Structure 1
Amino acid sequence: MNYSFTIPAGTADMKLQTYLEQELQLSKKVRHQLRMDNGVSVNGDVSNFHVTVKADDQLAIDLPEADFPLPEIKLGDANLVDVLFEDDHLVIVDKPAGVKTHHNTENEANTMINHLAAYLADKNEAPYVVHRLDQETSGALIFAKNPLILPILDKLFEAKEIKRTYQTVVDGRLPKDTMTVNANIGRDRHNNRKRIVTAKGGQTAVTHFETVEKDAQFAYLNCQLETGRTHQIRVHLQSIDHPIVGDPLYHPQPNKAERMMLHSYAINFIHPFTKEEISLTTKANLWD
């Protein structure tokens, strides 16, 4: 699997070994294999790992297929893919509500990753899951297009450098137009599908809420995740008695809407390979 790219402007000069380890997050095992296979070229020449690389150098990396096999994904329907952004390294799609992010069994073919695999098949590319949206949630969803960028995107999420804004509609009005919920989230021991706010244990979870509109029945919110726990927005809103309209797990009357009113509306981050700012919104928002 050969990948070529230009080291982006602004990158400090460093040894190739350091670049592969720190910037590309390649494991010691993979770096050793690349060294043994002469698998890295700089500006068209096979290079040893002590050469200095700098911004605008052309880097080509031949990843060992034994360590990076193309994932085998059953092909779905390419016509169901709505691309918001795409380049050689990643693709951002607008996932419909009701579609799972990825399959749980080999026989499934109606998830977003199956549809995207069909879309990428003609290019001899395959999608890799970077993060997930709940099945009932719609909106912007990032997939890697090669295993080289996958751990880098993972690190960006861990470092909170990928900003996501969600839109939601909840029962009632929040006590403040701008507020933050900082409450740990753990498993519900009575229902393994659910999560709960817990005072003991659990994982740190922080969500910021801003009321955009409100009426007699509902509040229309923008939400920003500081952490990324399972069902985080849903659990935090339910914990303050403002459940998401249509939420089948956390709303006592989920049939108040045809779908769960939660939408991943905007994504903003610095592309790790090009250093360009990627700032996009979906074509439609939740309440228009």
Structure 2
Amino acid sequence: MSEGNSKSKKPSRKHKPPGLKILHEDRDIIVVDKSEGLLTISNDKVKDKTAHFFLNNYVQKGNPKSRDRVFIVHRLDRDTSGVLVFAKNQNAKAYLQEEWSQFNKKYYAIVLGKPPEMEGEVTSYLMENSAYRMYSTKDSSKGKFAKTGYKVVKSNAHYSLLEIELFTGRKNQIRVHMSDIGCPIAGDKVYGKDPKVRGRLALHAASLTILHPYSKKEMTFETGLPNEFKAVMS
């Protein structure tokens, strides 16, 4: 990780956010490694056991009346692990969201089988049906353009480990596109039928490169390959 405008802080044990490893924190941003199974933000069923809730509690040090808070910049699916960045003020949030499409995002995924090419790109227009499931269409007037790049890192008799570059950030984009090429992500019960990999969806946000909202310096945050992925591909 490159340097930002201040050094990282270690969370106090008392308010350490569960399911999150803090990779970097300064006055403008907080970057974490989110575990799989944890929502980014609340939904109709889960209100407080989310990354957003836990980090708000952390920056407020347990005082809900504190003016300190974190702001949503982007999301990771509940079952996707990896790098997640939050803003600590409105200006940082606005900048990061405005520039988001220009930042580099890389994922690791284990898919069923082997893609048709060792390296390639998948493009389509994505839209959502009444059951909230995303799917690809060729009709540009109905869907939103989505582009995913992939490279095969390793393969065995049943699975392939892919490094994936996300050029656009549509809902469930990687999962849909891998299913489109006949290689659904392992553990995906919505877009594939393969059994779970050690109890989880095999998708991990491995690397994120941004320009810091205050200093404008390039910063890269990385996490390693999850142990579950290593076990499947060994």
TM-score by length of 2: 0.83
Structure 1 match to 2:12: none
Give 1:107 shift.
6.8
Mark the CA change 1:89 to 1:175 in structure 2 (over 3 Å): closer, same or farther: same
Q: Deviations over 1:111-147 (max 9, x none)?
A: 1111111111138521111000001100000101111
**Partners of 1:280 and 1:106 in 2: how far apart?**
31
**Partners of 2:19 and 2:39 in 1: how far apart?**
13
Mark the CA change 1:124 to 1:164 in structure 2 (over 3 Å): closer, same or farther: same
Give 1:248 shift.
2.0
Give 1:105 shift.
4.7
Counting matched residue pairs gives: 209
Q: Which runs of 5+ in 2 are unaligned?
A: 6-14
**Partners of 2:207 and 2:98 in 1: how far apart?**
19
Q: Deviations over 1:161-201 (max 9, x none)?
A: 21110000001111111100011111134xx2311111222
**Partners of 2:60 and 2:74 in 1: how far apart?**
21
Indicate yes or no: 2:105 matched with 1:164.
yes
Structure 2 match to 1:113: 52
Structure 2 residue identity aligned to 1:180: E
CA contact (8 A) 2:115 2:182 kept: no
Mark the CA change 1:174 to 1:128 in structure 2 (over 3 Å): closer, same or farther: same
Indicate yes or no: 2:127 matched with 1:186.
yes
Structure number with higher relative contact order (C-alpha < 8 Å, ≥ 6 residues apart): 2
Structure 1 match to 2:156: 215
Structure 1 match to 2:21: 82
**Aligned alpha-carbon RMSD (Å):** 2.0
Structure 2 match to 1:100: 39
CA contact (8 A) 1:81 1:119 kept: no
Return the match for 1:285 from 217, 220, 225: 225
Using the aligned pairs only, state the percent identity. Answer: 30
Q: Deviations over 1:183-231 (max 9, x none)?
A: 1111134xx2311111222110000001111111111001111111000
Indicate yes or no: 2:91 matched with 1:148.
yes
CA contact (8 A) 1:245 1:257 kept: no
CA contact (8 A) 1:169 1:262 kept: yes
CA contact (8 A) 2:135 2:176 kept: yes
Give 1:240 shift.
1.0
TM-score by length of 1: 0.68
**Partners of 1:241 and 1:80 in 2: how far apart?**
32
Structure 2 match to 1:276: 217
Q: Which has the larger radius of gyration?
A: 1
